[in-house]
């Protein structure tokens, strides 16, 4: 398995492409937007420059990594003759089902189809194809080049052979694969998102402010980043999407998103990506006004 295709040139997609290319794999990065592809490759270059400055890699390593990456705006061309496709598009069920339906007709029957979804059912995604045994979840953590964990999620019909192949492949990338079963949110987000949501509820109920909540969790619980800062980093829209998937899947009110989170997303306050969430990234000051404005 040496030819890989990644669908989506955003934060997760370009990070996954970076890791594969750095480890010797010919990597096709696919996106409908040429601008997104240019931005994605530029991000990979900047991340390689950081590694170069820390003497983790050499200039030759950087060049060979970038040389292994090809970009495509046409799906059929990007997935031709690849052994593995990893979908890293927006966390939207309908979009993913559409992509996997197309991949099933475009790819070789032996091609493994993986998704980087952080919450959506692998079994549901696999049902959009005629190769459910070859559909699997590869949930990388952000930032991909740094974080070691990959959640490997088996769908109801995912074969043992495919699971073993993807587990071993993840190890060759220098990652630690952990196999989990196919339930909404899997393990990482089933535990993380209720914690983030409860931190938002704590702010919404005016128990404490943004920095105070994050300080308690960092100093009291030894978390490297507070839950509100982490939510900003993940993207509040992504957090809301994952919570909605879990709420719909389990029908349990403990997964219902906090009204403050819903209102912030509707207002376009998405965190780092929009410049403001629980923190104001334009001025590097706490965006305490958010809780007052939307409570």
Q: Is 40 annotated as a binding residue?
A: no
Q: Is 115 annotated as a binding residue?
A: no
87, 151, 241, 291: which one is catalytic?
A: 151
Q: Nearest CA to 16 among 45, 44, 50, 42?
A: 44
Cα separation, 281 vs 287, in Å, equals 9
Q: Is 63 annotated as a binding residue?
A: no
Q: At what angle do helices 34-53 and 11-22 cross, to 10 degrees?
A: 50
Q: Is 13 annotated as a binding residue?
A: yes
28, 36, 139, 291: which one is catalytic?
A: 139
Q: Which residues pair with 114 in a beta bridge?
A: 86, 136
Q: Is 189 annotated as catalytic?
A: yes
Structure tokens at 29: 């990065």
Q: Is 211 annotated as a binding residue?
A: no
Q: Helices (DSSP H) in the chain: which residue ranges?
A: 11-22, 34-53, 59-67, 75-78, 93-106, 122-126, 160-172, 188-204, 210-215, 221, 227-234, 236-250, 259-266, 289-294
Cα separation, 82 vs 95, in Å, equals 22
28, 36, 116, 118: which one is catalytic?
A: 118
Q: Is 232 annotated as a binding residue?
A: no
Q: Is 263 annotated as a binding residue?
A: no
14, 28, 170, 189: which one is catalytic?
A: 189
Q: Is 220 annotated as a binding residue?
A: no
Q: Is 139 annotated as catalytic?
A: yes
Q: Is 130 annotated as catalytic?
A: no
Binding residues: 8-13, 31, 91, 96, 118, 142, 273
Binding residues for NAD(+): 8-13, 31, 91, 96, 118, 142, 273
Tell me the catalytic residues: 118, 139, 151, 189
């Amino acid at each position: 398995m040496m030819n890989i295709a990644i669908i989506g040139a955003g934060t997760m997609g370009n990070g996954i492409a970076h890791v594969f290319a750095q480890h010797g794999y010919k990597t096709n990065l696919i996106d409908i937007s040429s601008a997104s592809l240019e931005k994605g490759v530029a991000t990979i270059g900047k991340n390689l420059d950081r590694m170069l400055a820390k003497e983790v890699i050499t200039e030759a390593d950087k060049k060979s990594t970038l040389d292994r990456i090809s970009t495509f705006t046409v799906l059929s061309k990007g997935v031709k003759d690849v052994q593995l496709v990893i979908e890293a598009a927006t966390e939207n069920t309908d979009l993913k089902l559409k992509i996997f339906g197309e991949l099933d007709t475009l790819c070789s029957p032996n091609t493994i189809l993986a998704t980087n979804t952080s919450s959506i059912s692998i079994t549901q995604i696999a049902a959009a194809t005629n190769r459910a045994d070859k559909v699997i979840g590869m949930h990388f953590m952000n930032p991909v080049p740094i974080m070691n964990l990959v959640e490997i999620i088996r769908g109801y019909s995912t074969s043992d052979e495919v699971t073993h192949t993807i587990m071993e492949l993840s190890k060759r990338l220098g990652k630690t694969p952990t196999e989990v079963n196919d339930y909404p949110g899997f393990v990482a987000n089933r535990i993380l998102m209720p914690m983030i949501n409860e931190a938002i509820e704590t702010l919404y109920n005016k128990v404490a402010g943004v920095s105070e909540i994050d300080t308690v969790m960092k100093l009291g619980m030894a978390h490297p980043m507070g839950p509100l800062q982490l939510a900003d980093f993940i993207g509040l829209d992504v957090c809301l999407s994952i919570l909605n998937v879990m709420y719909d899947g389990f029908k349990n009110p403990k997964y219902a998103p906090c009204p403050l989170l819903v209102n912030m997303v509707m207002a376009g306050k998405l965190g780092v990506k929009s410049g403001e969430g629980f923190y104001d990234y334009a001025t590097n000051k706490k965006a305490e006004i958010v809780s007052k404005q939307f409570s």
